[in-house]
A = this chain, B = another copy of it.
Amino acid sequence: MADSNGTLEYRVAIREAIAAEMERDETVVFFGEDVAIAGGVFAVTPGLYERFGDRVIDTPISELAMSAGAFGAAVTGLRPIFEIMFADFLLLAMDSLVNQAAKYWYVSNEQASCPLVVRAAMGAGGNFGAMHSQSPIPWLQGVPGLKVVAPATATDARALLRQSIRDDNPVAFLEHKRLYSVKDPVSDDDPEVLPLGKAAVVREGTDVTLVSISKGVRDCLRAADELSERGVNAEVVDLRSLRPLDTETVLNSVAKTNRVVIVEEGPLIGGWGANLMGIVAAEGLHDLDDAWTIACPETPIPYSPTLEDPFMPDEAKIVREVASRLGVDAEIATGA
C-alpha cells in the first residue's frame, strides 16, 4: 500500500507480496529465523505471523534443514517461502537448493514441480564486512532449474515476488540491503505480477547501453542523468532476473547504441556481468563498437568505509568510465 506520499517502501512491498499470496493461496507458507514473532531482522515481515498464524514459522539456525524442508514441502503440496537472513548464508543451504530443488522437475521427468522461493538479503555498502555483504549471484546463476530474481524498485519487488511465489519451480529472490528503505512511487496501473525473465528498458537512450540488476540499476539511472548533462544519452536496461536471462532485450538495445557497459556488484571473474557480455558479444559481435564491464576488485569485501566505498561500482565510477571512453570530459562529468 502506498504511504501518504504515494510511495511504497521496498521492505513493505516484500511484505505485501507475501501477504497477498498467502491470502490468495492457502498452501503458501513462510519460515525463517526470527521472521515470525520478531518480524525479521530487517523489519520486512512484521504482522504476518499475527495474520497467518502457524503458516509463518520461526526456525532454528538450520539453513540446510530449512532449505531441504522447503524442498520436501514444495514437492508435497505446499508453496514455501523461506528466508536466509543474509545471502552469504545461502552457502549453507546450497546442497538442497541446487541438488534437490533445482533438479526435481527435470529429473523426475516432469512428474512434479517444486514451487519454492528463497528470499535473502544481499549486497555491500553497509559496512557489514566480508561475510555479510556478498552478492550470491555468481554461486547461483549457473544452476539450471533455479531462477534468480533481483528487483530494483519497490513496485517491481512486489510484482516479481508475487510471480516468484506462483512460479512452479524454485526461485532465489534477492533483496539488496541498501534498497530496503528506498521508496518508489506507486500507481493504480502497477501490475499485480511481472513475468520472470523479462528485462525492462527503464530509460531510453541512443549512445550507450548501461545494463545492471537490483541496486545497480538505480546507480545506472543516476549515472545516466548525470551523463545526459554531458551530452551522453544512455539507455538503461534492468535485467530483473539473471536466470532466465533476457539477452534479447540487451541485444536489441545494443543494436541501437552500439556500446554496452555492464555494471555488477561482484567480481569480474566468474561474475554474471562478463558472462552476459560474452553471450552478447557472441550474438551481437558486429553491432559492438565498445563494450566493458564495471565490477568490483577481485578481493573479499572490506569493512572500513574508506575501503568499501571505492570497492563499489557506484554512480561516480560509471559516469567516470563512460565519460572517459566516450571522450566526454570526465572531470566535468563526475560533477566535480
State the A residues within 8 Å of B (CB): 64, 88-89, 91-92, 94-95, 98-99, 102-103, 106-107, 129-131, 137-145, 242-243, 245, 262, 266-282, 285, 288, 290-293, 297-300, 302
Known: A107-B129, A276-B278. 7 other contacts (CB 8 A): A94-B94, A103-B300, A107-B300, A139-B139, A139-B142, A144-B267, A144-B269
Nearest CB in chain B: distance from A86 CB, A: 10
A277 and B270 form a contact (CB under 8 A): no
Given A143-B138, A285-B290, A243-B272 contact (CB < 8 Å): no
Given A91-B94, A91-B99, A144-B298, A268-B279 contact (CB < 8 Å): yes
Partner of A270, one of B64, B106, B129, B272: B272
> How many monomers of this chain does the complex have?
2
Partner of A143, one of B137, B142, B270, B277: B270
Nearest CB in chain B: distance from A246 CB, A: 11
Pick the most buried of A99, A129, A270, A297: most chain B CB atoms within 10 A of its CB: A270
B143 and A131 form a contact (CB under 8 A): no
Partner of A275, one of B64, B91, B269: B269
Given A91-B95, A98-B91, A144-B299, A274-B269 contact (CB < 8 Å): no
Name the B residues within 8 Å of A279 (CB-CB): 268-269, 274, 277-278, 293
Taken together as a complex, chains A and B put the C-alpha atoms of A272 and B138 apart, in Å, by 10
Subset of 26 A-B contacts with CB under 8 Å: A91-B98, A92-B94, A94-B94, A94-B139, A98-B139, A99-B131, A102-B300, A107-B130, A138-B143, A139-B139, A139-B142, A142-B269, A143-B267, A145-B300, A270-B275, A271-B275, A274-B277, A275-B275, A275-B278, A276-B278, A277-B277, A277-B278, A278-B281, A281-B288, A282-B291, A282-B292
